[in-house]
Amino acid sequence: MVDIQKINQNGITIVVVIGEVDASSSIDLDSAMNETIASGALKIIVDCENLDYISSAGLGVFMSYIEEIKANNAKMIITGLNEKVFNVFKILGLDQLLETADTRDQAIELLK
Amino acid sequence: MKYSQEIACSKDNLRLVRDFIKETLNQYVIAEKEVHSMVLAMDEMCANLIIHTHHCNIDDSFEIQIIVTENEGVTFKIIDEHEMFDLLNYEAPSLDELVKTQRKGGIGLILVKKIMDNITIRTENGKNCCCLFKKVKVQ
């Protein structure tokens, strides 16, 4: 249901999330995020351009790493959220807690 | 018009829940953003029931009903023999609290309460029924 790919590009770790993240598949997103942060990545992009659906289980994964990312002096930007998914961010107020950008290229610029 | 679907208690069936709701609501003219919100709220309710009430026991099941009333909105019923989680008296943690404690759960029911306009829990024909209403333009 979800496919997660990781790309390292000029010191930036890009986590590409494809498909649907729900209570059943959020464990895969959690493993990928945990692995990325534990590896000491300081610049992280989560590319959600091909994320069709995310429930609270997936959103909770992003939220649970906010403190650790801050403690590591790292930065995470979530990109490519479609309108429906971004609406969920807004309903919860997550757009105020998590940095987002429209595209991966914009996020790369912000991380320079 | 009333639609019904039996759901066996496996997390893998959350996709079936979403497809059932999407396919039912897509028979009507309802804004896509509203359909997505309702799908999400019901996914959260069913995930909570499957995981916390039924402990993912595939031998257990519950029923979802969708009642579409044109010019009024959509009513969802979750009907289960097991006791329902008391969503009405649930005090959701704040986002700040969740971030500080690094908890992964806890926001699903916040979403349900924010998305749905009215929630009631009652008994119907000897079974427990959680009734969720969304006021939405339906044609």
Report domain extents, chain A.
2-111
- Residues B45-66: tens digit of each pLDDT: 999 999 999 999 999 999 999 9
The pLDDT assigned to B69 comes to: 94
Could you tell me the pLDDT band of residue B106, with boundaries at 50, 70 and 90?
Answer: confident
Q: Using the predicted structure, report yes or no on whether residue B17 has a pLDDT greater than 90.
A: yes
Backbone φ and ψ for B90, nearest 5 degrees, come out as: -75, 125
Q: Using the predicted structure, report yes or no on whether residue B103 has a pLDDT greater than 90.
A: no
- Residues B75-92: tens digit of each pLDDT: 999 999 998 888 888 888
- Which residue ranges of chain A lie beneath pLDDT 50? none
The pLDDT assigned to A22 comes to: 96
* Residues of chain A contacting residue B19, judged by C-beta atoms under 8 Å apart: none
CA angle A59, A63, A64 (to 5 degrees): 115
The pLDDT assigned to B105 comes to: 82
Amino acid code (one letter) for B10: S
The pLDDT assigned to B89 comes to: 85
The pLDDT assigned to B87 comes to: 84
The pLDDT assigned to B95 comes to: 86
What ipTM was reported for this prediction? 0.89
The pLDDT assigned to B37 comes to: 96
What are B's interface residues with A at a Cβ cutoff of 8 A? 11-12, 14-15, 18, 32-33, 36-37, 40, 43-44, 47, 50-51, 95, 98-100, 102-108, 110-111, 114-115
Residue A33: which of A2, A8, A69 has the closest Cα? Answer: A69
Using the beta-carbon criterion (under 8 Å), do B104 and A64 form an inter-chain contact? yes
Asked if residues B46 and B16 have their Cβ atoms less than 8 Å apart, the reply is no
| Burial bucket for residue B70 (CB in 10 Å: 0-12, 13-18, 19+) | exposed
The pLDDT assigned to B94 comes to: 86
CATH superfamily of A2-111: STAS domain (3.30.750.24)
Q: A71: Cβ–Cβ under 8 A, 6 or more apart, which residues?
A: none
Between B12, B44, B99, which is nearest A56 by CB?
A: B44
CATH numbers and ranges of domains, chain B: 2-135 (3.30.565.10)
The pLDDT assigned to B1 comes to: 83
Between B14, B50, B107, which is nearest A60 by CB?
A: B107
Tell me what the pLDDT averaged over chain B comes to: 93
